[in-house]
Chain A
Amino acid sequence: MAAEATIPLSSRKAKLQMRDVSFAFERDGKSIPVLDKISLDIGDGEFVCVVGPSGCGKSTLLNVMAGFLSPTTGMVAINGETVRRPDPRRIMVFQDHGVFPWLTVEGNIEFGISGLSTAERKERVAHYVQMVRLQGFEHTYPPDLSGGMKQRLQVARALAMNPDVLYLDEPFGALDAITRVMMRSELLRIWQAERRTIIFVTHDVDEAVQLADRIVVLSSRPARIQDVHSVDIPHPRNISSSGYLQHRDDLLQKIGLAYSA
């Protein structure tokens, strides 16, 4: 796995391609530009974080990638196929309130795979319950789970669909600091086990430097790509090493530039 991280990005097959994607909201008859000509290639199995000033359009970018919003101009393609609508092969994980409170843990994980045979379904539920460490909670309802457990459940429900891309929209943003740190290492462990392409929006620079192969820094609205920052430290990353701190400082400086831009 460490070997794969050293393969130059240019030689990787592009999973997701964005070409000159712009997006504008219509409000009171006025057009408010949010994304400005964003072009980006993301490799298969790559872990990409998107950071930027708050309100800059990070979530909008993710929603356009996932097909919930159509770009005003430009196009998004996955495996060479233009994205026009949400697709069960690419699953979005939300910051909060993403799991269905009327279904148990098991019911939530099974939600998208009702087409499979009972045996296959049970097997998949068991596999992902174990992967996100929710054993013993299969028949628990979400209101009885902690915030971190709910987010793990949401990730399990997404993974049970066997998606090739996972979009995470500040998935740990509503959690306390300690849970957040633990969730990061859980996500890394899952990513290393399953190697899905992950696109992760966050406002937390530490989170980005700990997780990502590459970090996309957006400018303030309308968002352009300010910088793409590669993090070439192998996992697990030592957060007090000089290399780590260097990346972190570089990134903070770039985001500072983004704020002033």
Chain B
Amino acid sequence: MTTLAKPSVWEKFFWPLLTAVLLLAAWKYSVKWSGTQVFPSPASVETGMLELLRHHVLWADIADSLRRVAFGFGTAALLGIPLGLVLGWYPAMHQVFNPVIQLLRPISPIAWIPIAIVLFGIGDHAATFLIFLGAFFPIVVACAGGVSGVPVIYRRTARNFGLRPAQILARVVFPAALPQILIGLRIALGIAWLVVVAAEMIAVDSGLGFLVIDSRNSGKRYDLVVAAMLMIGLIGLALDTAFRRLEKIRSVRWGFRDEY
């Protein structure tokens, strides 16, 4: 933002709301005027959403999707953060592992689906594995970058104050890299939420991704397809918003500002 004038409170809500209303109207009238029999109108999506809620399938699907993301993303963080720290800390390790990581990183988790099914069969483990793959590499790369980007002055100060290497890592390098690590985790969580939907379309028979594909396959219920899509968007937004709250913690806030 470069404008000096601060938007007033009503403007903060008015403009986004206006955009939403205009989009809904555009959606409604394009469905109406095109005379499509397939694509649902906003009203029928709303009915579909209520129907899903009434039959309690939606909550179970949401819980399944969130559980898979929690396991896949959690494992990726648990393994990816230490590996990233080590790669950033020891240039020799970086030299050994970086080419392999850079080769594997651009492969979409979707391409891993056949391998995942061979390894884990159809089921939760295959889906979790795909989410893990999607989240793991961004976490490793962000951690390694965060650590190698720690200013030399911080390391020198730590050595000057008599810290041993393990203490330098725990008390200086980790906190100094933490803002970068959080950014990596946030990107990885977003990817995990993208991947879970794809994985559930193929590897399992529950979750929001399954809901999307199942609504289409069993009776072409596009109202339910779009309702599930909107739900995916809302939960993704909620996850990201929740994660961004971590950036407000005092000991990392310095890393998210322009100054200093």
Contact = CB atoms under 8 A, between A and B. Distances in A.
* Same complex origin of A and B: yes
A86 B260 contact: no
A143 B156 contact: no
Interface string B229-260: 00000000000000000000011111101011
A175 to B, nearest CB: 15
Interface in B140-178: 151, 153-154, 156-157, 159-162, 171-172, 175-176, 178
A17 B148 CA distance: 35
Contacts of B176: 100, 102
B254 A102 contact: yes
A102 B178 contact: yes
Interface in B52-96: none
A103 B251 contact: yes
Contact of B260 (A66, A90, A98, A101): A101
Contact of B151 (A85, A97, A141, A143): A97
A14 B257 CA distance: 47
A142 B251 CA distance: 10
A97 B260 CA distance: 8
Q: Which of B160, B162, B250, B251 gathers most chain A CB within 10 Å?
A: B160
Contact of A88 (B153, B161, B253, B254): B161
Given A97-B153, A98-B153, A143 B161 contact: no
Nearest to B259: A143
A112 interface: yes
Interface string B81-119: 000000000000000000000000000000000000000
A194 interface: no
Interface string A81-113: 000011110111010011011110000000110
Nearest to A98: B153
Interface residues of A, number: 22
B161 A161 contact: yes
Given A87-B162, A88-B162, A142 B260 contact: yes
Nearest to B161: A112
B156 A86 contact: yes
A167 to B, nearest CB: 9
A91 B160 contact: yes
A137 interface: no
A91 B253 CA distance: 28
Nearest to B175: A102
Contacts of A92: 156-157, 160
A177 B193 CA distance: 53
B254 A141 contact: yes
Given A68-B160, A141-B253, 9 more contacts: A85-B159, A94-B153, A94-B156, A94-B157, A98-B153, A101-B254, A102-B178, A103-B175, A142-B254
7 contacts: A88-B162, A91-B160, A92-B156, A92-B157, A94-B157, A101-B255, A143-B259
Interface of B: 151, 153-154, 156-157, 159-162, 171-172, 175-176, 178, 250-255, 257, 259-260
